[in-house]
């Protein structure tokens, strides 16, 4: 059956980020992923991960000026210097904690700027992929739904696939977040089958609540079986907002995935 990682941006969020590492390990997770752990010294984070023998998957690039509304820089034509600085920070932190991937957030773009945004996104992704490749890391891009992220440049799986094709770098991969894709597009199983070769990571949460994947409109038992039958070798990130204590809501792991 598929392997699950704990997204420490959302899971165990009732304690400081570094303590979430131990909590994930004690609940049986063998891998974790993070959103923005940059406030924790990277060497401390590496030590915590090593102490609990956890595989470190991906982390997000800094988003830019969040209070001003930024949510990523990669597709913003006039912000390429900031993008490069954010990339340096992400690669430095990521390689110290031995992450295998960096999520490159596209950003919020006005509808009039989409053509320039696409050109910028592709050029920035090529540069990011080349630098990440030197550290044996993958660049992930993730379509996000416009209800949660109005104006986010990357909204559709097919748009992401076309951009990956144009960027022509083997270490750029799709982060297939079932929560976002279900809200924007649906047809999850067909999209997973069609784009399997591009998928570098999968994430899950209930729709529409974004809680544990044991409620709502997505049949995750079927999704997990599909990924399994297709021979998906990657991880599935539990990126949901727990209804209560994270520990109390992990029953889905055995109920839906067959994991003991
Ligand atoms: O929200 C998401 O789905 C992303 O995976 C993310 O990392 C930004 O919060
Ligand atoms: Mg996600």
Task: Tally helices (H) and strands (E) across the chain.
Answer: 9, 9
**How far apart (Å, rounded) are the C-alpha atoms in residues 114 and 107?**
11
pLDDT by position in tens, the chain (length 260): 579 999 999 999 999 999 999 999 999 999 999 999 999 999 999 999 999 999 999 999 999 999 999 999 999 999 999 999 999 999 999 999 999 999 999 999 998 899 999 999 999 999 999 999 999 999 999 999 999 999 999 999 999 999 999 999 999 999 999 999 999 999 999 999 999 999 999 999 999 999 999 999 999 999 999 999 999 999 999 999 999 999 999 999 988 877 65
Assess if CATH 3.20.20.150 describes domain 3-257.
yes
Question: Max CA-CA distance within the chain?
Answer: 51
User: Which residues lie below 8 Å from residue 208, measured CB to CB, with a gap of 6+?
Assistant: 183, 216, 217
pTM of the predicted protein model: 0.97
- 17 Cβ below 6 A of ligand 1: no
- 142 Cβ below 6 A of ligand 1: yes
Hey, whose CA ends up nearest to atom 6 of ligand 1? 35
ipTM > 0.90 (yes/no): yes
Calculate Rg over the CA atoms of the chain: 17
- 35 Cβ below 6 A of ligand 1: yes
Contact between 14 and 38 under an 8 Å Cβ cutoff? The reply is no
Backbone angles phi, psi at 236, to 5 degrees: -115, 120
Ranges of each domain in the chain: 3-257
């Amino acid at each position: 059956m598929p392997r699950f990682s704990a997204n420490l941006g959302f899971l165990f969020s009732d304690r400081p980020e570094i303590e979430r590492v131990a909590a994930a390990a004690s609940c049986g997770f063998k891998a974790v992923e993070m959103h923005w752990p940059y406030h924790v010294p990277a060497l401390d984070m590496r030590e915590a991960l090593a102490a609990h023998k956890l595989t470190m998957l991906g982390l997000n690039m800094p988003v830019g000026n969040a209070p001003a509304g930024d949510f990523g820089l990669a597709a913003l034509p006039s912000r390429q210097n900031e993008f490069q600085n954010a990339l340096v920070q992400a690669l430095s932190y990521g390689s110290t904690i031995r992450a295998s991937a960096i999520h490159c957030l596209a950003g919020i773009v006005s509808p009039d700027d989409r053509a320039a945004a696409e050109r910028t996104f592709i050029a920035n992704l090529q540069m990011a992929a080349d630098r990440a490749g030197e550290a044996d890391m993958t660049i992930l891009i993730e379509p996000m739904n416009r209800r949660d992220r109005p104006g986010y440049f990357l909204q559709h799986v097919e748009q992401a696939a076309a951009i990956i094709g144009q960027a022509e770098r083997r270490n750029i991969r799709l982060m297939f977040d079932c929560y976002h894709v279900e809200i924007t597009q649906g047809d999850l199983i067909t999209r997973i089958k069609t784009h399997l070769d591009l998928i570098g990571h999968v994430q899950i949460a209930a729709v529409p609540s974004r809680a544990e994947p044991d409620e709502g409109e997505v049949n995750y038992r079927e999704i997990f079986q599909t990924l399994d039958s297709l021979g998906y070798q990657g991880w599935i990130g539990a990126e949901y907002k727990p209804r209560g204590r994270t520990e109390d809501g992990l029953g889905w792991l055995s109920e839906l995935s067959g994991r003991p």
